[in-house]
Amino acid sequence: MTIRTVKTTPIEGQKPGTSGLRARTKKFMEPNFLENFVQSIFAGVGGVEGKTLTLGGDGRYFNKRAIQTIMKMAAANGAARIVVGRDGILSTPAASAVIRARKTDGGVILSASHNPGGETGDFGIKYNIPAGGPAPEGITDAIYANTLQISDYRILDAPDVDLSADGESVLGDMVVEVIDPVAIYADLMRSLFDFDAIRDLFASGFRMRFDAMHAVTGPYATAIIEGELGAPKGAVVNAIPLPDFGGGHPDPNPVYAKALMDEMFGADAPDFGAASDGDGDRNMVIGRNCYVTPSDSLAVLAANAHLAPGYAAGLAGVARSMPTSRAADRVAAKLGIGSYETPTGWKFFGTLLDAGKATLCGEESAGTGSNHVREKDGLWAVLLWLNILARRRQSVAEIMSAHWAEYGRDYYSRHDYEGVDKAAAEGLMDHLRNQLASLPGQTVEGMTVTAADDFAYTDPVDGSKASKQGVRVTFGDDARLVFRLSGTGTVGATLRVYMERFEADPAKQSEETQAAIAPVIRAAAALAGIRTRLGRDGPDVMT
């Protein structure tokens, strides 16, 4: 086996976004594209000589090939050990759990999360720090800087490593340790939740459906929900991970998980429904005839987390991304704990979790998690819901009604305009920013603007700053409107418009969501000029 130093030149389009580097799969398959970025990761973290890394991905197309390349590059760069999931598979939260449990020096995770897979789909790669969370901007900036000046990369000439069975082998001077991708994660879940209570729930005739969307969570959900908790065989559907996710879009929302929605709102629906995404870090929760928004889910989990053994001592605080509704803030206020509003991107929760300021975190984009790992965790959220249902013995709809009666209801929806012209979308955002100073005091669709800004954040732990994180227009406690360009797409731009309206009166909390927020929808159209500037009559996706 010999180490080759391969000459290369910088390649455009390698600036990491909020969740690492994402691009079309075929772009990653082009000569040197993956290799340049991996070598830049190694350089950006100060080298990997003598270090142990965790490695795995969500199983999408090109995952196996990329895993072999990364291992050979790690060996050539002096890494001492790679801990890799069997067949190169690790869900994103499981990878975080492995980094933390095995105390590795960080990890490389291959995923484009909820984006479509396959040869014509998307691929992604990111580096996670030793705490288990996504790399902060200081590291991603260093990685990007190296992509702009890279001149060569190092790789070991060696046969591929067999990753089909657990155990150790040697690649050059580096040890490759293949592990069960489920084992460490399942151990962690047992320490957090009352599995006996959940088993009793299923034994009572409780029925659920978990849609793994042919993505990475299938083996985890099958092993835990069916294997350990006693749910009947078939409770987990679409459980076999496929490189193209079965041709579907592995995003757990009412649009892309339509089959599950239809079942949960159909005749003889199960008691509880849930879904997870491509890499296992997102979730959707549904009761019989009751869809739970991710914002409401975070609030309900915060209010009831004490029912699970791992959180029985109470929460230190709750953190949410800025576009997420203010429902969790109301719970935190009643519990007398801290509440934090951060930019979008799970990495912003890391310092709060590490400092013990927050225990639960969540994003409106279906990501929820806690201090057990440093990533959002789809199956964790589902298990916490099951723990709550097992203890309260109420339906999802009953739990939601009781929660709204106590805390008020934040009607909430996100409208996505996908694949729009990037220049036009940026022009729309500039148009909004130019109005900010003059908006307070104005009345729009019968609502008076009380505040308007472009969200900026100063981390309360390390003092780091982030600016231009989304335009906010607030109408007192009654309503709020947020505009933001997404950083997770690979083609064009995606404009996300977030709308919420608060209703304190339980007698008025049963209105259909889009009807309830209709004035906020009209205000968004009036302020942004979406139809004129983007040429769109309506959103592509409403969640």
Active site residues: 113
H/E stretch holding 3 = strand 2-7
DSSP state of 529: -
Rounded Cα gap, residues 446 and 196, in angstroms? 52
CA distances from 34 to 27, 28, 160, 340 (A): 9, 5, 17, 36
**Angle of helix 378-392 versus helix 183-192 axis, rounded to 10:** 30
Widest Cα–Cα separation across the chain: 73
Calculate ∠ Cα 410-415-420, nearest 5°. Answer: 155
- Nearest to residue 529, comparing CAs of 480, 495, 478, 487? 495
Rounded Cα gap, residues 21 and 6, in angstroms? 22
* Cα 82 → chain centroid: 25
Side chain identity at residue 376, one-letter code = K
Instruction: List b or e across 152-163, with b for residues whose CB sees 16 or more CB atoms inside 10 angstroms.
Output: ebbbbebeebeb
Residue 533: burial class (beta carbons within 10 Å; 0-12, 13-18, 19+): middle
CA distances from 183 to 88, 164, 198 (A): 15, 16, 20
Determine how β-strand 360-363 pairs with β-strand 317-321. parallel
